[in-house]
With several copies, the nearest count.
Chain A
């Protein structure tokens, strides 16, 4: 696949559409174990990103970097810096231009997820977006065929695996044991991000 602002905008606009469709779900998950704003936060940010015109960008990298800055400056909360850092690092690790394959994507995905770890200081099992993102990258790397599809399935499974978890980071951690029983809102939105990639980048 050719790496272009248009292709990448296709991904993030699909993500924005999925977020809009799932706003109520994301808010309701956050209402149960957080502060009921994850839906509104993500809609605000992804709507702004979807309004970026890919034609304004010279290459995929600069488009993704602008998308990241847009998230950082519109989302707020915990998810703004985290999704922003994810895309910022991912964009920086993308090749300049030209065709991209599984081997080309892998370091970019890894850099993005490592950025989330560095920014938020959470790890696997803390009941955060990382519980969708880390398995997604691992599945992407391990896949012999259709790596995006494998990543999307792993992200969804990772999201579901957050249900019984007790949160250690973010607002849900204040609940202690009462945080179990509900999927993490950020893991749920992250699974949407990878699923949108599987539909648009595969």
Chain B
């Protein structure tokens, strides 16, 4: 394992020190609780929007803190959900009395830790709602499993919910919109190489020089199948087809995210997007907005994911609203 780190145990703390040094004017860092807090939080009367999860997916979530998006991001250890008291501290830091929305990716650990935090905060009189993002079509959804993973769709939920909160919507309104957005999101990813968890010291899985893992999770969880590498034109279809099979995207404007897993260069992501947009056009899908780049990563994994969100006017309006974070600005 070769990484630009001091020690596997200090990766998250060191990165937060770096964020503190880089963005003193816009972010407050609570090092003890590993919180990245918008300089203007809490804002009287504004619903707080909070997310978090294991680290290693940057810019998600810390890169999305700022006006128009998140009030606080809670950083767990690499690939490990933060603890309830971290999330509680985030709620305490951001709540202005207008209540708080927790945006949670659907992993057993995240769901339980955020749930426990919500119970603790409710006991303190904080009005807490939560929305679970579960958009990964690689995973079969069933009542008898942990359900689908939360992946790329999280960015869209955070953007839309953050803008709605910024615009003065109530907790109930922000929550309903966030839930609708999460419900309208579908994603599928693939890996060309594994990530290496610092504490593990070796790649999570091994792929041969001509193999890809289709349906990869953002923690290096293996996917649907191991396949031969193919031209990106074909790989784009392997990502898009299961998404379109899962939900009809032809009857509404669509937000598309062409997302890198961390180790794939931008030149390849644009090449993938060229194929994805051709495929979607051929299928009668109307791309209303798009985002190409590294947004929900898996450490240094090479690979990419595609997310489609079936949007309505309100979602598009809040998608377009100004945002000022280190990872997204417009």
Contacts and interface: CB of A to CB of B under 8 A. Distances in A.
B77 A78 contact: no
A31 B77 CA distance: 16
A73 B83 contact: yes
Interface in A140-177: 168-171, 173-176
A73 B77 CA distance: 12
Interface residues of B, number: 37
Interface string B130-162: 000000001110001110010000000000000
A5 interface: no
Contact of A174 (B78, B82, B112, B139): B139
Given A81-B112, A170-B146, A173-B145, A27 B80 contact: no
A77 to B, nearest CB: 4
Interface string B198-235: 01101011000000000001011111000000000000
B197 interface: yes
A19 B54 CA distance: 22
Given A36-B204, A37-B200, A174-B149, A80 B83 contact: yes
A35 B85 contact: no
B200 A78 contact: no
A175 B112 contact: no
Contacts of B204: 31, 35-36
Interface stretch (A38-46, A53-61, A187-195): A38-46
A37 B56 CA distance: 12
A28 B199 CA distance: 11
B222 A175 contact: yes
Nearest to A39: B199
Given A73-B83, A176-B140, A27 B200 contact: yes
A74 B80 CA distance: 11
Given A120-B108, A171-B221, A35 B197 contact: yes
Contacts of A34: 219, 221
Nearest to B216: A174
A199 interface: no
Contacts of B222: 174-175, 178
Contacts of A40: 8, 77, 80, 199-200
B81 A76 contact: yes
A118 B202 CA distance: 35
A78 B219 CA distance: 14
Contacts of B83: 72-76, 80
Given A120-B112, A171-B146, A37 B77 contact: yes
B81 to A, nearest CB: 5
B109 interface: yes
Interface string B108-127: 11001100100000000000
A79 interface: yes
B219 A171 contact: yes
Contacts of B116: 72, 81
Contacts of A41: 77, 80
Contact of A170 (B108, B144, B223): B108
Given A169-B146, A171-B108, A31 B76 contact: no
Pick the 5 closest A-B CB pairs, nearest first. A35-B219, A78-B109, A81-B112, A40-B199, A77-B109
26 contacts: A27-B197, A27-B199, A34-B219, A35-B197, A35-B221, A36-B199, A36-B204, A37-B77, A37-B80, A40-B80, A72-B116, A73-B84, A76-B82, A77-B81, A78-B81, A78-B112, A80-B81, A81-B84, A82-B112, A119-B112, A120-B108, A169-B145, A170-B108, A171-B217, A173-B145, A173-B146
